[in-house]
């Protein structure tokens, strides 16, 4: 029996109020204070904005808070505190599971209400930041642990993707892995890491998600092959890379690997598309948009029965999907000048391009789950609406019965309308992402003299700037980062 509350107007008003309270703002808009402070270089204020954010205090956004807080501490050179946050974030990512609550919230409301689990490239970059932090603290052994965990991350990503031509290995992380091993004196594992990174580029015909194979990677690969006495491998990669190894004298003060993080990662926004459900000649159901750009099968793994699908109830509905928007960096080129010599910094990781590409790779899967979820919502609306009443059924009914049915039908229609409005307003794309990541990471290996070295980092692009960098040459390999967020 279908039961209705007496005050149906109050029910609909309550639903409409809920609709009004559902925010249409993206994640970026909701943390605008933090992002503005970050881009202006006021890291202390950015940290305070994070700590007072009600949105980031929610359990579902705990991982985002930890990633952002860890990065802000890194920017403030608070290496130990930074890794405290990153370690907790790392643990959350390792133990992340999709709960029944998450599934329910995603289906009833939208994916923005689910627990954030991080993009795949964000997971790799946590190891990069942790390793850099450990190296700044002089904890090389801990940095080597992160180097090993990059391999474990790669294995997990390969298991997740399988043989599909999608994002698996992260070439930049493998380069970082080689640098860490070299810093720890493990030239054999350094060679393996550099070789794996080079192979990633070679498999992509010299290009990997917008990055050309760095000349420095070629030098590091050939140098470590030579140092290990791997003559066959040295010759093989000289041929593959169309280059020749030239032995260079060791710098008196050692080398500085300088990472320059330029700009900001893209922000996630929302795009709205309209779809309808169709049935093909073989009895299969699929969704298509007005331009026929997408053709997506109905996902019956959701548990919904094929027999309950009615095309007339799913003529057209709006789908909210995430999209990235580029934040153009102010600087796109860098040269380090030291003692009359110039060293050009090379692009090593294009986070902006990687974000766009990995979202495209999973778009069909994301579309399928989103469309099926919305279709089920639409079918729920249709189930509430009043049935078609034919005149022949009314002949034997009294006026009192007819009046009661009309009232019931009006009530059903009002509830269905309220549910329709709520579903429309609550439909949101998941626009969350790790906002403090850079647009692009560049790097260079700079030879040092013994004692203090003054390096002039000259950056160019939309405008120019010179960043002074000081490094003390002590004969070993050291690592440093420079950040220009705007």
Look up the pTM and report it. Answer: 0.85
Alpha helices in 171-306 (DSSP H): 171-183, 187-203, 215-227, 231-240
Find out whether 167 and 157 touch, Cβ atoms under 8 Å. Answer: yes
With both helix axes pointing from N to C terminus, report the angle between 62-75 and 43-52 in degrees, rounded to the nearest 10.
Answer: 160
With both helix axes pointing from N to C terminus, report the angle between 120-136 and 62-75 in degrees, rounded to the nearest 10.
Answer: 40
Tens digit of each residue's pLDDT, the chain (486 residues): 444 444 544 544 454 444 444 456 899 999 999 999 999 999 999 999 999 999 999 999 999 999 999 999 999 999 999 999 999 999 999 887 766 666 666 666 678 888 999 999 999 999 999 999 999 999 999 999 999 999 999 999 999 888 778 899 999 999 999 999 999 999 999 999 999 999 999 998 888 999 999 999 999 999 999 999 999 999 999 999 999 999 988 999 999 999 999 999 999 999 888 887 787 777 777 888 877 777 887 776 655 666 666 655 566 677 888 999 999 999 999 999 999 999 999 999 999 999 999 999 988 777 877 777 777 666 666 566 666 665 545 666 777 777 777 777 676 666 555 555 555 556 788 999 999 999 999 999 999 999 999 999 999 999 999 999 999 999 999 999 999 987
pLDDT confidence of residue 15: 45
Q: How far is CA 213 from CA 217, 241, 260, in A?
A: 7, 10, 17
Q: Pairing mode, if any, of strands 255-262 and 477-484?
A: parallel
3-state secondary structure of 461: strand
Q: Which of 58, 11, 45 is nearest to 414 (CA)?
A: 11
Return the bridge partners of 278, or none: 286
pLDDT confidence of residue 247: 92
Find out whether 67 and 122 touch, Cβ atoms under 8 Å. Answer: yes
Q: Tally the C-alpha atoms within 13 A of residue 344's C-alpha that lie toward its C-beta.
A: 8
Give the burial string for 148-161 (b: 16+ CB within 10 Å, else e): ebbbebbeebeeee
DSSP 76: T
What span, in angstroms and rounded, lies between the C-alpha atoms of 297 and 115? 26
CB atoms within 10 A of CB 359: 18
Q: What is the 3-state secondary structure (H, E, C) of 322-370?
A: EEEECCCCCEEEEEEEECCEEEECEEEEEHHHHHHHHHHHCHHHHHHHH
What span, in angstroms and rounded, lies between the C-alpha atoms of 201 and 209? 9
pLDDT confidence of residue 424: 58
pLDDT confidence of residue 276: 78
pLDDT confidence of residue 275: 81
pLDDT confidence of residue 19: 44
Find out whether 426 and 270 touch, Cβ atoms under 8 Å. Answer: no
Query: What sign does the CA torsion over 276, 280, 283, 285 have?
Result: negative
């Amino acid at each position: 029996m279908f039961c209705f509350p007496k005050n149906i107007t109050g029910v609909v008003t309550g639903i409409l109020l809920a609709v009004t309270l559902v925010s249409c703002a993206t994640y970026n808009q909701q943390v605008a204070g933090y992002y503005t402070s970050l881009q202006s270089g006021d890291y202390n204020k950015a940290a305070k904005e994070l700590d007072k954010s009600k949105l980031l205090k929610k359990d579902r956004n705990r991982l985002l808070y930890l990633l952002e807080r860890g990065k802000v501490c890194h920017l403030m050179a608070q290496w130990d505190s930074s890794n405290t946050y990153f370690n907790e974030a790392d643990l959350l990512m390792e133990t992340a599971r999709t709960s029944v609550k998450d599934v329910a919230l995603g289906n009833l409301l939208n994916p923005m209400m689910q627990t954030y689990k991080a993009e795949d490239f964000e997971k790799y970059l946590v190891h990069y930041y942790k390793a850099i932090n450990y190296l700044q603290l002089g904890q090389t052994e801990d940095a080597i642990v992160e180097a090993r965990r990059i391999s474990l991350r790669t294995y997990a990503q390969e298991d997740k993707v399988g043989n599909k031509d999608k994002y698996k290995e992260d070439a930049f992380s493998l380069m970082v892995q080689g640098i860490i091993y070299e810093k720890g004196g493990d030239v054999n594992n350094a060679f393996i890491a550099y070789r794996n990174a080079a192979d990633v580029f070679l498999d992509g015909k010299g290009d990997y998600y917008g990055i050309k194979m760095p000349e420095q990677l070629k030098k590091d690969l050939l140098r470590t092959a030579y140092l290990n006495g791997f003559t066959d491998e040295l010759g093989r990669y000289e041929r593959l890379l169309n280059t020749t190894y030239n032995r260079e004298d060791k710098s008196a003060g050692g080398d500085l690997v300088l990472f320059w993080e330029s700009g900001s990662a893209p922000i996630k926004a929302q795009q709205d598309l309209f779809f309808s459900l169709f049935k093909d000649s073989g009895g299969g159901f699929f969704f298509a948009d007005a331009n026929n750009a997408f053709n997506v099968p109905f996902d019956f793994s959701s548990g919904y029965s094929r027999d309950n699908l009615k095309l007339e109830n799913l003529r057209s509905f709006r789908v909210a999907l995430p999209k990235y928007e580029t934040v153009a960096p102010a600087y796109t080129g860098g040269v380090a000048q030291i003692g009359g010599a110039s060293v050009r910094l090379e692009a090593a990781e294009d986070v902006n391009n990687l974000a766009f590409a990995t979202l495209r790779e999973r778009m069909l899967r994301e579309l399928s789950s989103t469309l099926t979820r919305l279709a089920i919502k639409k079918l729920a609306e249709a189930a509430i609406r009043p049935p078609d009443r034919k005149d022949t059924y009314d002949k034997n009914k009294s006026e009192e019965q007819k009046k009661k049915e009309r009232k019931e039908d009006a009530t059903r229609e009002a509830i269905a309308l309220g549910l329709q409005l709520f579903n429309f307003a609550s439909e949101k794309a998941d626009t969350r992402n790790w906002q403090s990541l850079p647009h692009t990471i560049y790097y260079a290996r700079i030879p040092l003299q013994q004692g203090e070295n003054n390096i002039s980092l000259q950056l160019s692009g939309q405008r120019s700037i010179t960043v002074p960098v000081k490094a003390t040459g002590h004969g070993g390999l050291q690592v440093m980062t420079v950040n220009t967020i705007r």
